Homo-oligomer: A and B are copies of this chain.
Amino acid sequence: MPAVLTAFADSPDRGRALARDFRVRWALEELGQTCDVRLVGFPELKTPVYRALQPFGQIPAWQEDGLDLFESGAIVLHLAQQYPGLLPDDRAGHARATAWLFAALDTVEPPIWDWDLARMVERHQPWHAERQPMLEARIHTRLQELSQWLGSKDWLEGTFSLGDLMMVTVLRRLNGSRLLDKHAPLARYVARGEARPAFVRAYEAQKAVFDASTVMMTGKGPAK
């Protein structure tokens, strides 16, 4: 029985591969693995049946023989531990790559997410503009530190790993804003990630889902 990944039927990111199921799609492509994709709409995320699989009603969830799994970080780590390609074999290299996985999710993503969440839910509040410099300063601090570490390396530990995969997905949320522009080495780092063949294949797959959902809802093709 093939493994099953749940993904948004109609992603709020409008096909830009910012939804967290994309992390799993990309990891699978890097690892040369496939899965079935089950598309779910927002109402289904609230159901007891889905909550038994994903206690917080989020995507993605992952189902394979004998195991239901949730949290994009946990799913990507689990896959990288099963198949070669995203984790070095040696104990220290394995641990270092995993440290970057956690750094992406727990140190770099929070200020980026807070800034994006404020744009989504507080943009019409009177304080929104005044809070922006503080939210942006937190992001710049992390980007400066990350850029300092990266230096002239292609990847965080020299060789591409699941830490880079996660970090690139986290930084991509800044695409289209001017926040990444001030950190040119990181913009190039993101571009290197996006140029990987596995990224491109995963991107096209999720884009096809979004485009199909647009066709279904409007009867028209996606916007050019």
Which A positions have Cβ atoms within 8 angstroms of B? 51, 55-58, 66-67, 69-75, 77-78, 91-92, 95-96, 98-99, 101-103, 105-107, 109-110, 113-114, 121-122, 125-127, 130-131, 134, 142, 145-146, 148-149
Main secondary structure of the interface of A (DSSP, over half): helix
Chain B: CB-nearest residue to A48: B148
Chain multiplicity (copies): 2
In Å, the complex CA distance between A152 and B20 comes to: 30
Min CB distance, A78 to chain B, in Å?
Answer: 5
Contact A101 B126 (CB under 8 A): no
Min CB distance, A37 to chain B, in Å?
Answer: 20
In Å, the complex CA distance between A113 and B55 comes to: 20
In Å, the complex CA distance between A67 and B66 comes to: 34
A103 contacts across to B, CB distance below 8 A:
55-56, 70-71, 74
Chain B: CB-nearest residue to A146: B55
Which of A78, A106, A113, A126 gathers the greatest number of chain B CB atoms within 10 Å? A106
Min CB distance, A120 to chain B, in Å?
Answer: 12
The 10 A-B residue pairs with the shortest CB-CB distance in the complex, in nearest-first order: A71-B102, A127-B127, A74-B99, A55-B149, A73-B102, A74-B102, A67-B92, A78-B95, A56-B145, A74-B98
Contact B74 A107 (CB under 8 A): no
A134 contacts across to B, CB distance below 8 A:
121-122
Contact of A57 among B70, B130, B145 (CB under 8 A): B145
Contact of A71 among B66, B99, B121 (CB under 8 A): B99
In Å, the complex CA distance between A142 and B99 comes to: 25
A70 contacts across to B, CB distance below 8 A:
99, 103
Which of A74, A75, A103 gathers the greatest number of chain B CB atoms within 10 Å? A74
A72 contacts across to B, CB distance below 8 A:
102, 106
Min CB distance, A5 to chain B, in Å?
Answer: 15
